[in-house]
Amino acid sequence: MRVMAVDLGDVRTGIALSDETGFLASPLCVIEERHFKARVKKVCAKARETGAAEVVIGYPKNMDGSIGARAEKAAEFAELARAELAELKIPVILWDERNTTISAANYLNTTNTRGKKRKEVIDKVAAVIILQSYLDK
């Protein structure tokens, strides 16, 4: 069963996909889209295209566990995605992603990934971290 994860951004949204066994997360792509509803449609199209059985949306709670503006935006994104994927009965799950972007940045620091290359991959790396933590649950 393939699981797809989404690291939601205002412009770049990272996508990761698991292997068929649901054991290992790998980076898939970055969707560049500024318009919120168009971004939802593109992410859902990617879920259909890859045959994802579940979609996990990063839910960026504040460090104290409270819900801020970014988490509210993720929840809205998840609701729209649920409606978009309802006919396929693909569940859309919000997953706590506190510190994933920091973890992705730290990983890219250790691999000495800088500049334009870093900007291109950080969202995919964050999506992989979200997905792997979900798969490991």
pLDDT, tens only, 89-106: 999 999 988 766 666 666
pLDDT average, residue stretch 27-43: 96
Between CA 21 and CA 1 the distance in angstroms is: 6
Q: Give 26's strand partners.
A: 17
d(CA 137, CA 120): 28
14-32 tens-digit pLDDT: 999 999 999 999 999 999 9
| CATH no. of 3-136 | 3.30.420.140
What DSSP designation does 95 have?
A: E
pLDDT at 37 over 80: yes
Give the per-residue pLDDT at 63: 79
Tell me the CA distances in angstroms from 115 to 13, 109, 127, one per residue in order: 18, 11, 19
Average of per-residue pLDDT across 45-53: 97
| Total number of residues shown for the chain | 137
pTM of the predicted protein model:
0.88
